[in-house]
Amino acid sequence: RNQAAMKIKMLSRPTGDTTRDSKKAVFKVSSNPDPTLHPFERAREYKRAVTAAKLERMHAKPFVRALEGHADGVYSMAASPTSLVALLSGSGDGEVRIWDVAHAKTMWSVFAHDGAVKGLSVGYDGTSFVSCGDDGTIKLYSLSLESLLGAVPTAEESSAAGSAAASSASAAASAAAVA
């Protein structure tokens, strides 16, 4: 019976190194600034410096004005490509507002969806816009007439038989918004 003996060495630290003398005592944090031991530290510091500079520039711009009027948070925005003063915003309560940014006033508003307005897009000619919401519909509006031109349920909301018609109608609505 030859049994091999194994020696085990236990690594331990004295409890005085890991416990505080009082509740206000601070642990010492050791660091080694040697770049050969930490090759990515320089890149990390560069990234932090760039982020700090960007934040400083972003906050240096003057705040112009707030547009007040929505009862809930704003979830989507779109700007008109043909007008410098028209801005659209869609809120969590389903309201779409068209703003006159120069005077900070609402030009027109409509409760477009049952639920949040998740997306807005203005046609390239600036005469119409499309909104989509949590209620599963896509709606096409005329900016000049301030009226609804059409509504299409999304594929999830429509039945299997009507999904082909819904997808072709949504494509037509998107084309009308872009046209």
Q: What is the DSSP string of 103-133?
A: TTEEEEEEE--SS-EEEEEE-TTSSEEEEEE
- Quick check: pTM over 0.85? no
- Distance CA(148)–CA(179), nearest Å, equals 16
- Distance CA(42)–CA(59), nearest Å, equals 26
- Distance CA(8)–CA(34), nearest Å, equals 34
Tokens (6 digits) for 51: 């982020």
Q: Which regions in the chain score pLDDT beneath 70? A: 1-2, 17-18, 27-30, 33, 155-179
Q: How far apart are the first and last CA of the chain?
A: 93
| Backbone Cα Rg of the chain | 30
Kindly list the structural domains of the chain, giving each domain's residue range(s) and its CATH number in brackets, ordered by start: 74-178 (2.40.10.480)
- What does the angle CA 127 – CA 86 – CA 75 come to, to the nearest 5 degrees? 100
Span 41-89, pLDDT tens digits: 777 778 888 888 887 777 777 777 788 999 889 999 999 998 888 999 9
